[in-house]
């Protein structure tokens, strides 16, 4: 898009906002930084708690179904859900060397026992996580993440109207680019940066269309 040549003296003093009009983008950017740092702090807290927990408490619930040979070793076979228990019992039921009456009763009893073992394991693991404080920390982190995303969305809904606001937005775009941030976030931020600078330099003659 061609523009009329502008003498350098014409942009020595960029268009300033009206008297008493503050740059809401700067306020929103500060709020985003606070929310971002808070979310990062809680993420580190979750990692620290998880690192202090025994490995036995970090796994998902499971039920022991039996054992099988792997080369020269015998390894335990676990089911990680009720659905996996059902699939294992169905395969057992279809085995050609099983009887149709007695073995079906045994299989159903085995299924019920596996369900009970899985549910008890889930209760014990949840209790261990609660004692460690991990569940509470994860809940706080989820809330902080929601707050950060809300602050980011609000910040990207605003166009800076001062050179300072544009400078902070340029810093955000640079940081997100280096971090390979989401393309939609970069597009919104770059659009707002171009719009803010163009408004201060060219007035209302140049407004890039949203991506």
Q: What is the pLDDT of residue 6?
A: 47
Give the mean model confidence (pLDDT) for residues 63-80: 88
Average pLDDT of span 182-192:
94
Q: Output the pTM of the full model.
A: 0.65
What's the whole-number average pLDDT of the chain?
85
In a domain, 188, yes or no: yes
Task: Please tell me the total count of domains within the chain.
Answer: 2
pLDDT tens-digit readout, 43-59: 999 999 989 988 888 88
**pLDDT at 189 (0 to 100):** 95
* Owner of token pair 């335990």: 76
Residue 10 lies in a domain: no
Q: What is the pLDDT of residue 15?
A: 54
- The answer to the question of residue 35 being in a domain is no
Integer Cα distance of 200 and 112 in angstroms? 72
- Residue holding tokens 């039920």? 63
pLDDT at 7 over 60: no
Distance, C-alpha 134 to centroid of its chain: 17
Tell me if 45 is assigned to some domain: no
pLDDT value at 130 more than 60: yes
Q: Does 88 reside within a domain?
A: yes
**How high is the pLDDT of residue 44?**
96
Residue 11 lies in a domain: no
Supply the range of the domain harboring residue 98. 62-118
Q: Where are the alpha helices (DSSP H) in the chain?
A: 24-52, 55-58, 82-93, 102-132, 134-155, 163-178, 183-202
């Amino acid at each position: 898009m061609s523009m009329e040549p502008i003498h350098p003296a014409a942009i020595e003093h960029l268009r300033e906002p009206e008297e008493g009009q503050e740059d809401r983008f700067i306020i929103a950017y500060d709020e985003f930084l606070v929310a971002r740092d808070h979310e990062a702090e809680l993420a580190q807290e979750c990692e620290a708690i998880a690192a202090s927990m025994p490995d036995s408490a970090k796994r998902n619930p499971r039920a022991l179904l039996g054992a099988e040979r792997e080369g020269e070793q015998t390894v335990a076979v676990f089911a990680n859900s009720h659905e996996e228990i059902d699939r294992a019992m169905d395969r057992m039921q279809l085995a050609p060397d099983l009887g149709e009456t007695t073995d079906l009763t045994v299989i159903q009893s085995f299924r019920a026992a596996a369900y009970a073992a899985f549910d008890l394991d889930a209760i014990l693991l949840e209790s261990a996580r609660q004692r460690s404080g991990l569940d509470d920390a994860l809940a706080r982190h989820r809330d902080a993440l929601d707050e950060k995303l809300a602050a980011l969305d609000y910040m990207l809904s605003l166009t800076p109207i001062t050179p300072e606001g544009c400078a902070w937005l340029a810093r955000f775009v640079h940081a997100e680019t280096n971090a390979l941030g989401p393309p939609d976030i970069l597009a919104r931020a770059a659009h707002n940066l171009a719009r803010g600078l163009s408004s201060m330099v060219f007035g209302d003659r140049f407004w890039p269309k949203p991506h």
